[in-house]
Amino acid sequence: MFAASTNVRPAHSPPRVPPAPTGRTRPHRSRRPAVADQAFLDQSTWNGQLFLGGWTEAAGGDAAVVEPATGAQLARIGSAAPADVARASALAAAAQPAWAAAPYHERAAVLRRAATLLEANRAEVEQWLVREGGKVPGAAAFEIGLVLGELNEAAALPSRPYGELIPSGEPRLSFSRRVPVGVVGVIAPFNFPLILASRSVAPALALGNAVILKPDPRTAVCGGVVLARLFEEAGLPEGLLHVLPGGVAAGEAMITDPNVRVISFTGSTGAGRRVGMLAAEHFKRAHLELGGNSALIVLEDADLERAVSAGAWGSFLHQGQICMTTGRHLVHEAIYDDYVAALAEKADHLPVGDPASGTVALGPLIDAGQRDKVHGLVTASVEAGARLAAGGTYEDLFYRPTVLAEVTPDAPAYAQEVFGPVAPVTRFSTLDQAAKLASDTEYGLSLGILTRDVMRGLDLAERIPTGLVHINDQTVNDEALVPFGGLAASGTGARFGGAAANVEAFTETRWVTVRAEIAPYPF
C-alpha cells in the first residue's frame, strides 16, 4: 500500500490512560486559510451546485463542505433530491445509446485524457483529499495513484474482445456478445472517496454506459466534483455522467429509478443489506462491497519487528477507516506479550493531528458520530475485561491509535467492525484455534498471515473463507487490475477491479444467431 514517505516523524510517548478510556489528548494542529481556488477545481464553476451533465442548482438546496480537522467550511455543494435523480436518469438514458455506438477508440481516448488531466492536476486534488477527506499527504498521493491505475485500466476495456462463438446444432452462426447495461448507479463512501467512486465510474463509462454517481456528502468534492471536472475536461459527451451528492432519499430514488439497471454500492454492511433488498425488489443487479473485520494471524516464527510494523499499518492507516483494516490481531501465545508491548509502543509514538501540517501519521475521524462509535466500542471492551495497552483517548475528532490486549471474541471491538484506529489483540496456541478464530465472523473480506513458512501460511489460508489473502503482508492491499470483493457480510464477491470482473459487472450477455435464409417450419 502506501509508500513509507508519509511525512511521519516520531513524537514523545503520551502517558498511559486509566482502564476506562475517557480522557482527551491534544492533537498536532496547524492554522491556514481555506482551500485556495485553483484552475482545475475553481469553486466559481461548481460551488453550491450539482453536475447533471453540466453544473446546475439542486432541487435539494446546498450543504457545507467541512474540513474535519478544523471544522472550517471549505465550500458548498448541491444536495440532490429525488427530483434531481429523476432528471439525471432521463438525461443519462437519452445520451447512452450514442455513446455505446461510438467507436471503441473514442471511448478509450476519453479515459486516457481523464488520466492525463488527473496527473496534471494531482497536487490540487491531493490538497482536497487532505483537507476534505482527512488524509495524511502520503495516503492522498497513494489514492491518486490508484485512481490513475483505474482510469488507465478502464481505457483498455473498450478494445477487449466482447463475445464468443458458440457451437450450434442448427445451420446458423451462433454467438454471444457483451452489451452495455445502459445506466449504472454508483453509490460511493467517504473513506477513499475518489478511488471507490472511480473504480465503478471509469469501467462503466468505458464499456458504453452512462453513470449516475452519488458520493458521500461528507466528501462530495473528492468523491464527486473531481470526477465531474475530469470527464468534463476530457470531452465526455454531455449527459453521460451525473454527480449527485445526497442522502438516503436520493440513494433510494436512484435504486428504484426504472432507467437505472445496475447498482454499484460500496459502504457499510447494514446499508448494503438495504441496497440489495431494494434492488432485488426492482429486479436489478446490485454489486455490493461492504464492511469487514479482517484478521491478521501472526505465527510464532514470524519476524516480530516486521510483524508489529505490518500490524500497526493494517490497523492505523487512515485512522482505521478502511474496509480491509486489520480489525483482529491473532497472535501465537509464544510471542503474544512481546507483540502487544511492541505494538503499544509504536502506537504511543504515532503523532495524531491535522494532516495538512505534514507532520502526523493519523488525521481526524470523519465526524463526531464515527468518533463516538469508536470510543463506545473501546470503552465497552475495556469494561468487558480487555486491557487498554495504548490509546483510548481523543480530542475533537482526533482519536489516538489504540491497542487492546487480552481481548476475548465477545468483546465489542473484536466482534464488530470498528472503522477506527483500534487494534484488538487475541492469543492462540494452535493452528486449529487460529483458523477457528479467524473464521468465526460474519465478514469475509481480507486475511493476512505472517510466517517464515510460506507453505504453512497458504495451507492455513485454505481453511478460512475470505475474498482476499495476503501471505506475509497485512490486510490492506489493492491494485487497479486485480479482482476485489468479499464474501458473506463483506459483499457479493469480486465485482470490482480486473477486466473480467468489470465486464461482468457493467455489461449484459446477449445471444445472437444468424442464418443465410429464413428457417423453414411445419406451420
Task: Give the pLDDT confidence of 187-204 residue by residue, as tens digits.
Answer: 999 999 999 999 999 999
Q: Is the pLDDT of residue 53 over 90?
A: no
CB < 8 Å & 24+ apart, contacts of 11-16: 11/349, 11/350, 11/351, 12/349, 13/345, 13/348, 13/349, 14/348, 14/393, 14/400, 16/390
CATH number at residue 353: 3.40.309.10
Least confident of 103-117, 457-471, 479-493: 479-493
Residue 38 banded pLDDT, cuts 50, 70, 90: low
| Count of beta carbons in the 10 Å neighbourhood of residue 487 | 17
The confidence score (pLDDT) of residue 448 equals 98
The confidence score (pLDDT) of residue 10 equals 29
Give tens-digit pLDDT for 13-24: 333 333 344 444
Match 463512501 to its residue by C-alpha cell: 189
Residue 328, classed as helix, strand or coil, is strand
Tell me the C-alpha distance between 302 and 337, whole Å.
Answer: 14
Are 226 and 332 members of one domain?
no
Match 461482468 to its residue by C-alpha cell: 504
Tell me the C-alpha distance between 237 and 227, whole Å.
Answer: 14
Tell me the C-alpha distance between 135 and 44, whole Å.
Answer: 25
The confidence score (pLDDT) of residue 500 equals 86
User: What residues contact residue 306 under an 8 Å CB cut-off, 6+ apart?
Assistant: 450
Mean of pLDDT over the chain: 92
What phi and psi, each to the nearest 5 degrees, are found at residue 134?
Answer: 75, 25
What phi and psi, each to the nearest 5 degrees, are found at residue 196?
Answer: -75, -15
Tell me the C-alpha distance between 294 and 470, whole Å.
Answer: 11
State the average pLDDT over residues 278-301: 96
Q: Is the pLDDT of residue 11 over 70?
A: no
| 277 lies in some domain | yes
Does residue 289 have an active-site annotation? yes
Segment (H or E) for 280: helix 269-281
| 20 lies in some domain | no
Are 256 and 223 members of one domain?
yes
Tell me the C-alpha distance between 447 and 497, whole Å.
Answer: 18
Does residue 106 have an active-site annotation? no
| 5 lies in some domain | no
| 516 lies in some domain | no
SS (H, E, C) 226-266: HHHHHHHHHCCCCCCEEECCECHHHHHHHHHCCCEEEEEEE
| 169 lies in some domain | yes
Are 231 and 359 members of one domain?
no
The confidence score (pLDDT) of residue 6 equals 29
How many structural domains comprise the chain?
Answer: 2
The confidence score (pLDDT) of residue 14 equals 33
Are 353 and 501 members of one domain?
no
The confidence score (pLDDT) of residue 134 equals 97
Q: How is the chain split among helix, strand and coil, in percent rounded to 5?
A: 40, 20, 40
Are 286 and 302 members of one domain?
no
Are 159 and 251 members of one domain?
yes
| 4 lies in some domain | no
Catalytic residue among 289, 345, 395, 504: 289
Are 399 and 259 members of one domain?
no
Are 301 and 279 members of one domain?
no
Short-list 421, 303, 341, 380, CA closest to 27: 421
Give tens-digit pLDDT for 385-404: 999 999 999 999 999 999 99
CATH number at residue 191: 3.40.605.10
Residue 496 banded pLDDT, cuts 50, 70, 90: confident
State the average pLDDT over residues 441-469: 97
Give tens-digit pLDDT for 507-517: 999 999 999 99
| 111 lies in some domain | yes
User: Between 104 and 22, whose confidence is greater?
Assistant: 104
Are 244 and 373 members of one domain?
no
User: What residues contact residue 505 under an 8 Å CB cut-off, 6+ apart?
Assistant: 200, 203, 204, 262, 264, 287, 495, 496
In DSSP notation, 457-478 reads HHHHHTTS--SEEEETS-S---
Q: Is the pLDDT of residue 478 over 80?
A: yes
Residue 27 banded pLDDT, cuts 50, 70, 90: low
Least confident of 96-105, 243-252, 435-444, 475-484: 475-484
Catalytic residue among 126, 323, 417, 504: 323
Residue 449, classed as helix, strand or coil, is strand
Are 286 and 299 members of one domain?
no
Are 401 and 325 members of one domain?
yes
**C-alpha grid cell for residue 293?**
473485520
Residue 209, classed as helix, strand or coil, is coil
The confidence score (pLDDT) of residue 499 equals 84
Helices assigned H by DSSP within 394-475? 412-415, 431-439, 454-461
Q: What residue numbers bound the domain in which 359 lies? A: 294-471
Q: Is the pLDDT of residue 502 over 60?
A: yes
| 462 lies in some domain | yes
Residue 361 banded pLDDT, cuts 50, 70, 90: very high
Are 308 and 214 members of one domain?
no
